[in-house]
Chains A and B, each alone.
Chain A
Amino acid sequence: MSAFTVGDVVAERSVHLTRESLVRYAGASGDFNPIHYRDDIAAAVGLPGVLAHGMLTMGIAVGTLAEALGDTGRISEYGVRFTRPVVVDPETGADLHVSAKVGAVDDETARIDLTVTFAETTVLGKAQVRVRLS
């Protein structure tokens, strides 16, 4: 059992997204909203470009923790706010960086705070994972 100490960064990673990543997530999740793969539609609804699915970013963020937890089944709660879009350029893609820091610990659970940044901006708000300690 890993001991969590408030303030410790327990996991970190960078993930490079491409348009292919978005198409793959669309197929795997069943979310075929065209703003995630069609530039013309993204532009027509006033977006700065084709966006990554919020749920893809959310999934990548929590996946960062898997090794530190040993078993993702220890997660009892996970929540995020989608605060900023992740624009995925057709040629250069997008780089996400995820950092997981222990925010609070009590007798039975730990709260891990995830910070996800894209182009030096935080894209998820209040991204918190509640983990069972036993």
Chain B
Amino acid sequence: MNPELVGRVFPPTPPYLVGREKVREFARAVFADAPQHTDAEAARTLGYADVVAPPTFAMVVQDLALQQLLSDPGSGIELSRLVHAEQRFRYTRPIVAGDELVATMSVTGIRSLGGNAMITSEAEIVDAEGAHVVTTTSVLLAGEAGA
């Protein structure tokens, strides 16, 4: 594990356009059967412009940012031995179809733990106006090469 990763801020991801059918597909996949996730009219009744993504959909956008870290050959992370240990989301508002989202990720902590490394990263996700939508925090447990 490369300890110099701590504090590193990755470039903002290219804008991710949230599609209505993608939200419906994701909702079905996580057994989110509330009408606001699939029925645009039901979402409008609640005051949203379009279908509302289930809360964990933010992970799809976070993943784009996380790939920057995982695919970095200098990170020292062995992909096949990566375990998701913890996940948190802090929302200003839910993600809605039509949103164009950009994630900026930073590595906030690395801790060694008996041959493994705990990597904490945070991604701040904003909309096309730059307004905060959700901040995601991931803790990954990475087996170190040769450990």
Q: How distant is A27 from chain B, measured CB to nearest CB, in Å?
A: 7
The size bracket of the interface on A is 20 to 34
- In the complex, chain B residues whose CB is within 8 Å of the CB of A76: 90-91
| A60-B30, A63-B33, A73-B46 known; A29 vs B59 contact (CB < 8 Å) | yes
Contact residues of A: prevailing secondary structure: helix
Q: How distant is B17 from chain A, measured CB to nearest CB, in Å?
A: 15
Closest to A70 in B: B46
* Number of residue pairs spanning A and B whose beta carbons lie under 8 angstroms apart: 103
Q: How distant is A20 from chain B, measured CB to nearest CB, in Å?
A: 10
B112: interface (CB < 8 Å): no
- In the complex, chain A residues whose CB is within 8 Å of the CB of B86: 79-82
B 54-66 binary contact with A (CB < 8 Å = 1; else 0): 1110011001000
- In the complex, chain B residues whose CB is within 8 Å of the CB of A24: 28-29
- In the complex, chain B residues whose CB is within 8 Å of the CB of A67: 34
A 20-31 binary contact with B (CB < 8 Å = 1; else 0): 010011011111
- Contact of B31 with A15 in the complex, beta carbons under 8 Å: yes
